[in-house]
């Protein structure tokens, strides 16, 4: 832990260092409490109880994983234009991710949930 708390690191490596910090804390808690697997809730609690040190997480605030409103708007527009076939290929997902400034995983999740909401809202409209 001293390595993280006292070291000086390049700002381009902060995200990776935060992930390593979390993994170290997960393993520490897992070994001390003899827990086989950590649930997402336990991991969340560990992250809250053991925030990264200021030198790898400036301001004490973790980088947000939320999608920016501009990215959401861009994907929503793409979805509306391709409503008849909202399943982009891997290359199209990469283009969307690059244009929106997010990861391909975030693109996939957004489009999946967007389609689920569309299907549910059409079902509700038809039957209620």
pLDDT digits (tens, 9 = 90+) for 73-91: 999 999 999 888 888 899 9
Helices 69-81 and 104-127 sit at what angle, rounded to 10 degrees?
A: 60
Q: Using one digit for the tens of pLDDT, what is the confidence trace for 24-44?
A: 889 999 999 888 898 999 999
HSE (CB half, 13 Å, CA atoms) of 73?
3
pLDDT computed for residue 20 by the predictor: 86
pLDDT at 68 over 80: yes
Domains held by the chain: number: 2
Contact 51, 61 (CB under 8 A): no
pLDDT at 121 over 80: no
Domain that holds residue 34: 2-60
pLDDT computed for residue 14 by the predictor: 72
Q: Average of pLDDT values for 57-84?
A: 83
Q: At 89, which CATH number?
A: 1.10.10.60
pTM to 2 decimals? 0.53
16 and 52 housed in the same domain: yes
88 and 115 housed in the same domain: yes
Average pLDDT of the chain to the nearest whole number? 82
50 and 74 housed in the same domain: no
pLDDT computed for residue 4 by the predictor: 63
From CA 63, how far away is CA 15, in angstroms rounded? 8
């Amino acid at each position: 832990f001293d390595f993280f708390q006292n070291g000086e690191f390049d700002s381009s490596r902060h995200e990776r260092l935060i992930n390593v910090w979390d993994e170290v804390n997960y393993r520490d808690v897992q070994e001390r409490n003899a827990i086989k697997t950590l649930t997402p809730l336990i991991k969340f609690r560990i992250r809250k109880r053991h925030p990264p040190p200021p030198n790898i997480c400036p301001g004490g605030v973790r980088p947000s994983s939320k999608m920016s409103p501009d990215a959401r708007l861009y994907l929503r527009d793409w979805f509306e234009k391709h409503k008849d076939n909202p399943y982009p290929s891997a290359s199209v997902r990469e283009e969307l991710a690059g244009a929106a400034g997010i990861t391909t995983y975030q693109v996939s999740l957004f489009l999946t949930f967007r389609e689920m909401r569309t299907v549910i809202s059409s079902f509700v409209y038809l039957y209620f």
